[in-house]
Structure 1
Amino acid sequence: MIMVEEGASPLVLCLPHTGTDVPAVIGKRLNATGRLQTDLSWRLEDVLRLSSDLDATIIRSTISRYVIDLDRDSETPLSAAEDPKTALCPVTTLDGKRIYLDGEEPGATEAEQRVLLFARPFEKAVQQQVSRVSRMHRKVIVVDCQSMRSHIKGVTDKGLPVISVGSAEGTACDPDLLNLVVGSFKSQQGYTVGVDELVKGGHLTRTYGRPERGLHALSLLIAQRAYLRHESPPFEPDKSRVQRLGNLLEDTFSRAIDWARMENSRSYSSQPSAAQEQETAVSPLTEDEAANDTHGPAGERPGQPPTMLQVAE
């Protein structure tokens, strides 16, 4: 199921790893390690319950990352499944532990089915929302929001900063926006910040980071110690940490929105067709497909309750 909260500001937040749902046909094949689902962005949606004043668009899926990783290119070959850093349908945890019972890993046909059932609807929802917001604003900010355990063997051996920001090494967004976001996080006492280090920018950031067309994308990875009491099941939130982090994110996103609006006002008269160029650039849908699509939230109005798009299992 895809959940969309439509907003009217230039900010679009994507949460590809907050889902916990595992279809029964897959769940019965997971081993004890797989059932723990330790590599999800646990409770991050609670942190990102932002003020309505931001009027942000938020897109997330209820499906688990262990079913399919929605921050991967859906054309990723099955051969990449053994590497948790590149897997579309993972067969191991991020630290290399098997998550399936012996012989129960998904094959090529099943992986293709998961793409059709879960990845394509998420991709379409993101495409539609970015296109919708692009029609309202000449500068749009897309943020891929994730969280991770602070200590994962083989992944975060050198330590995970509280906040990691990825910009595809500066190619996915305007440097002024990057500096603004990073500066906001660095101003928070006790928060360490990494830029284009462990996190350089995933599939969403690299797909939607087209600053020359007015699309600015960032990856935001939060260490779970910033808002969880314990980084292990049941991944219980710490109320004071959640509030502190939530306030910081609100302030940072508010500054980013102000930046986009200022840039929008500057470029309005000189780029009369930029919004149309953005829409064409970010959506792989043909004009006929977009016109005939009845499953997406594009026809709804800002301020409505979260849109829930049911996908088959």
Structure 2
Amino acid sequence: MDSFRFQPGETPVLLSIPHVGTVIPSDIEACMTEAALAQPDADRHLDRLYHFAPALGIGFLRPVLSRYVVDLNRDPAGAASYPEISNTELCPLTSFDFQPLYQPGRAPDAAEVERRVGAFWRPYHEQLDAELRSLRDRFGVAVLLDAHSIRRQVPRFFGGALPDFSLGTGDGTTAAPALVSRLMNVLSANGRYSSVLNGSFNGGFITRRYGRPKENIHAIQLELAQSIYMDEEPPFGFRPDLAGDVKPCLERLVSVLVEWAWENASTRRAAFL
């Protein structure tokens, strides 16, 4: 089974959607609870929401498998992405609402976790790392947009309600300030959706691992409140009416990302048009 899908682009920008997958292999599924199989924590429909990205020349990388199999945005060494809160594991044992994901006595042991890292986690990251380096070598700069979404209220992770758009840059360490400022200007000017920079989500493992501005590789995490484009309750349906409203702002944001990347590329854009 292929554990991810990759489509190269023709710009210095790569879109990664690490939590959009929903497939669970049958041997793992047999060990899980009904709560797990409902997959309430998937970043559902983000590939549909970002369907415009290939038309902008953006490459994309997304997993097939569920984050419950192995979380691609976690450190395989076990370090917490956000030490101040209750994190879920590399191979999660509970949902965001603390519901057990495995039947009693059937949670993955250390050997099984290592197997999943080798079979599913590592190939995704090898592709991600290789593509970012390739873009940087080809264009002189590479920009990663790491796309996520989450329910507006998850007490396990943050108090109150999440803004519509949460931009994370590792507290200013993973992307050029000029790029971040331009993106925040887009969000501030939209007049409809709330936004924050380096709030509750200031950049997870992927953003911090790959964002190296001194090496001309920039990474930004964008966390969307799911209520602006889908139903947060089962069956977690996509909402074309809501998505139609948010897409112009999202597309403008991503277009600015591409514009900045071309402005800072050492290879002329015209050569690839």
Alignment TM-score, normalising by the size of structure 1: 0.80
SS of the aligned residue for 2:264 comes to: helix
SS of the aligned residue for 1:69 comes to: coil
The higher radius of gyration belongs to: 1
- Matched with 1:216 is 218
CA distance in 2: counterparts of 1:154 and 1:130, whole angstroms: 33
Segments of 5+ residues of structure 1 without an aligned counterpart are 270-301, 303-313
1:134 aligned residue (136, 140, 163):
136
SS of the aligned residue for 2:236 comes to: coil
CA distance in 2: counterparts of 1:88 and 1:251, whole angstroms: 33
Deviation (angstroms), 1:199: 0.5
CA distance in 1: counterparts of 2:180 and 2:152, whole angstroms: 23
Say if 1:153 and 1:241 are closer, same or farther in 2 by CA, change over 3 A. same
Percent identical among aligned pairs is 29
CA contact (8 A) 2:86 2:156 kept: no
Tell me which of the two structures has the higher relative contact order, counting C-alpha pairs closer than 8 angstroms and 6 or more residues apart.
1
SS of the aligned residue for 1:251 comes to: helix
Say if 1:186 and 1:11 are closer, same or farther in 2 by CA, change over 3 A. same
Alignment of 1:148-187 (within 5 A): 148-187=150-189
Deviation (angstroms), 1:155: 2.1
CA contact (8 A) 1:84 1:90 kept: no
CA-based RMSD: 2.1
- Matched with 1:58 is 60
One-letter code of the match for 2:211? G
CA distance in 1: counterparts of 2:219 and 2:138, whole angstroms: 17
CA distance in 1: counterparts of 2:53 and 2:15, whole angstroms: 14
Deviation (angstroms), 1:84: 5.8
- Matched with 2:43 is 41
Is 1:119 paired with 2:121?
Answer: yes
CA contact (8 A) 1:43 1:235 kept: no
CA distance in 2: counterparts of 1:216 and 1:251, whole angstroms: 19
SS of the aligned residue for 2:174 comes to: coil
| Deviation string, structure 1 residues 204-239 (Cα, Å, up to 9, x no partner) | 1111111111111111100100101x2022211111
Alignment of 1:200-239 (within 5 A): 200-228=202-230, 230-239=231-240
- Matched with 1:105 is 107
Segments of 5+ residues of structure 2 without an aligned counterpart are none
CA contact (8 A) 1:5 1:57 kept: yes
One-letter code of the match for 2:196? G
Alignment TM-score, normalising by the size of structure 2: 0.91
Deviation (angstroms), 1:135: 2.1
One-letter code of the match for 1:221? E
- Matched with 1:70 is 72
Deviation (angstroms), 1:143: 1.1
Deviation (angstroms), 1:191: 0.8
CA distance in 1: counterparts of 2:77 and 2:223, whole angstroms: 24
| Deviation string, structure 1 residues 237-288 (Cα, Å, up to 9, x no partner) | 11122122222222111111111211225xx79xxxxxxxxxxxxxxxxxxx
CA distance in 2: counterparts of 1:208 and 1:163, whole angstroms: 21
Is 1:258 paired with 2:255?
Answer: no
SS of the aligned residue for 2:265 comes to: helix
CA contact (8 A) 2:129 2:210 kept: no
CA contact (8 A) 2:31 2:106 kept: yes
SS of the aligned residue for 2:180 comes to: helix
Say if 1:241 and 1:182 are closer, same or farther in 2 by CA, change over 3 A. same
Say if 1:125 and 1:84 are closer, same or farther in 2 by CA, change over 3 A. farther
Count of residues in correspondence between the two structures: 264
CA distance in 2: counterparts of 1:198 and 1:137, whole angstroms: 33
1:11 aligned residue (10, 13, 23):
13
CA distance in 2: counterparts of 1:11 and 1:77, whole angstroms: 28
Moved over 3 A (4+): none
| Deviation string, structure 1 residues 149-192 (Cα, Å, up to 9, x no partner) | 11222223221111101000001111111111122122222211
SS of the aligned residue for 1:75 comes to: coil
CA contact (8 A) 1:84 1:94 kept: no
CA contact (8 A) 1:84 1:93 kept: no
Say if 1:77 and 1:189 are closer, same or farther in 2 by CA, change over 3 A. closer
Deviation (angstroms), 1:121: 0.8
- Matched with 1:240 is 241
CA distance in 2: counterparts of 1:13 and 1:51, whole angstroms: 8
